Chain A
């Protein structure tokens, strides 16, 4: 089945120790998104890629970086995790067609990050 895969599902890191979360998709979608979701809150968009075109949200901290080496993979790098970065990180994909109407986002299962 076509899907969005996130690894690992649970990640524990130490304060200040860089961590990388990965997302892969078999949907061949051209847009990939990274969201941060804290407990009992709505997901917050960090950035997204349209093909290789990177789009950063204005309020995304510099501590968060992303790479998309090819259509299928996208990585979230947290350079120096703080306690406030503990959250669920959700990857999503969609197929954007210029002039089209429906571009449903499909989400992966998420990576729950703990910062000690």
Chain B
């Protein structure tokens, strides 16, 4: 069974500083995908970044980068130059592959989330 763990219920960061949100995962599948989503108080889940298990390089998208350490099964999100608008809930998620003979298409297993607060 797949599992995602986010150990930081809440994080605080000063505006313009960098922050790392932790995510560890557990799976026996050799092929998997890891995602980070941002959820502001409005409720919409916003896709931030994706890392495939076979990707050789860490994913980056603008101010977001994913520190992927496969042997340690961690996929931490790094936000550089934090902005006030970054204050939100952040979810780490893992795509599970369809089970043999099953019909599970791209199901996501989510962590419990980390609330990030950016102070001016």
The segment out of B20-28, B80-88, B101-109 that lies at the interface is B101-109
Contact A110 B43, CB 8 Å, known A42-B112, A50-B105, A96-B105:
yes
Query: Does A92 sit at the interface, judged by CB under 8 A?
Result: yes
Judging by beta carbons under 8 Å apart, are B103 and A50 in contact? yes
**CB of B15 to closest CB in A, whole Å:** 25
Judging by beta carbons under 8 Å apart, are B110 and A42 in contact? yes
List chain B residues, Cβ under 8 A from A103.
33, 95, 105-106
Between A and B, how many residue pairs show CB distances below 8 Å?
63
List chain A residues, Cβ under 8 A from B50.
102, 104
List chain B residues, Cβ under 8 A from A107.
37, 44-47
List chain A residues, Cβ under 8 A from B45.
43, 90, 92, 107, 110
Q: Which residue of chain B lies nearest to A41 when distances are taken between CB atoms in the complex?
A: B112
Contact A42 B43, CB 8 Å, known A50-B105, A101-B54:
no
Query: Does A62 sit at the interface, judged by CB under 8 A?
Result: no
In the complex, what distance in Å separates the CA atom of A31 from the CA atom of B33? Answer: 17
- Interface of B toward A, CB cutoff 8 Å: 31, 33, 35, 37, 42-47, 50, 52, 54, 91, 95, 103-108, 110-113
Can you list 24 contacts pairing A with B, beta carbon distance less than 8 Å? A41-B112, A42-B91, A42-B111, A48-B105, A48-B107, A50-B103, A50-B105, A55-B104, A55-B105, A88-B43, A96-B105, A101-B33, A101-B52, A103-B33, A103-B95, A104-B50, A105-B106, A106-B47, A107-B46, A107-B47, A109-B42, A109-B43, A110-B43, A110-B45
